[in-house]
Amino acid sequence: MDDDARPVAGVPAAVRQGRAALAVSFFAQGAVFAMLVTRIPAIQDRYGIGDGLLPVFLAAVPVLAGAGSVATEQVVKRVRPSVVLRWVQPVVGLVLVGLGAGDRLWTAALTMALFGVCVGALDASMNMLGVSLQRAYGTSIMLGFHAAYSLGGIVGASLAWSDAHWHWSLLVLYGPAVAVLIPLTLAASRWYRDRAPGNVPQVAGHVPAYPEAAIGDPHPTIPTEDPDPAQPVIMRMLLPLCLVMAFAYIGDSTVSNWSAKYLQDTLHSSEQLSTVPYAVYMVTTLLGRSTGDVGVRRFGAVAVVRAGTVVAVAGFAVVAVAPGAWVGMLGFTLLGLGLCVIVPQTFAGAGRMFPGASDTAIARLNVFNYVGFLVGSPLVGALGDAWSYRGAMVVPMVLVGLTLLYAHSFAPGPAGYGVGHERPRAVDVG
Question: Which tens digit of pLDDT belongs to each residue from 182-203?
Answer: 999 999 999 999 976 543 323 2
Please check whether residue 335 lies inside any domain of the structure: yes
Q: Does 309 lie in the same domain as 181?
A: no
Q: Does 150 lie in the same domain as 32?
A: yes
Please check whether residue 220 lies inside any domain of the structure: no
Q: Does 188 lie in the same domain as 130?
A: yes
Domain boundary, last residue among 144, 165, 194: 194
Please check whether residue 205 lies inside any domain of the structure: no
Q: Does 156 lie in the same domain as 243?
A: no
CB-CB contact of 61 with 95 (8 Å): no
Please check whether residue 214 lies inside any domain of the structure: no
CB-CB contact of 135 with 222 (8 Å): yes
Indicate left, alpha or beta for 167 from its phi (over 0: left) and psi (-120 to 50: alpha): left
CB-CB contact of 256 with 121 (8 Å): no
Q: In which domain, by residue range, is 412 found?
A: 233-417+421-425
Task: Compute, in degrees rounded to 10, the torsion defined by CA atoms 41, 43, 49, 55.
Answer: -60
pTM of the model: 0.86
Q: Does 253 lie in the same domain as 174?
A: no
Which secondary-structure segment (H or E) carries 404? none
CA–CA separation, 251 vs 357, rounded Å? 29
Q: How many CB atoms lie within 10 A of CB 277?
A: 28
DSSP string of 88-145, one letter each residue: HHHHHHHHHHHHHH--SHHHHHHHHHHHHHHHHHHHHHHHHHHHHHHHHHTS--HHHH
Q: Does 385 lie in the same domain as 312?
A: yes
Q: Please count the structural domains in the chain.
A: 2
Domain boundary, last residue among 140, 167, 194: 194
Beta pairing partners, 71? none
CA–CA separation, 149 vs 54, rounded Å? 26
Domain boundary, last residue among 172, 194, 216: 194
Q: Does 162 lie in the same domain as 293?
A: no
CATH number, domain containing residue 154: 1.20.1250.20
Q: Does 157 lie in the same domain as 20?
A: yes
CB-CB contact of 133 with 359 (8 Å): no
Of 384, 267, 279, the closest CA to residue 332 belongs to: 279
Please check whether residue 373 lies inside any domain of the structure: yes
Q: Does 174 lie in the same domain as 75?
A: yes
Please report, in tens digits, the pLDDT of each residue of the chain (430 residues total).
333 333 344 788 889 999 999 999 999 999 999 899 888 888 989 999 987 898 888 889 999 999 999 999 999 999 999 999 999 999 999 999 999 999 999 999 999 999 999 999 999 999 999 999 999 898 999 999 999 999 999 999 889 888 888 989 999 999 999 999 999 999 999 999 997 654 332 322 333 333 333 323 445 555 544 445 557 899 999 999 999 999 999 999 999 888 988 988 899 988 778 878 888 899 999 999 999 999 999 999 999 999 999 999 999 999 999 999 999 999 999 999 999 999 999 999 999 999 989 999 999 999 999 999 999 989 998 999 898 999 999 999 999 999 999 999 998 754 333 333 344 333 333 3
CB-CB contact of 332 with 255 (8 Å): yes
Please check whether residue 327 lies inside any domain of the structure: yes
Please check whether residue 100 lies inside any domain of the structure: yes
DSSP string of 279-291, one letter each residue: HHHHHHHHHHHHH
Beta pairing partners, 222? 195
Q: Does 244 lie in the same domain as 186?
A: no
Please check whether residue 202 lies inside any domain of the structure: no
| Side-chain half-sphere exposure of 370, counting CA atoms within 13 A | 24
Which secondary-structure segment (H or E) carries 200? none
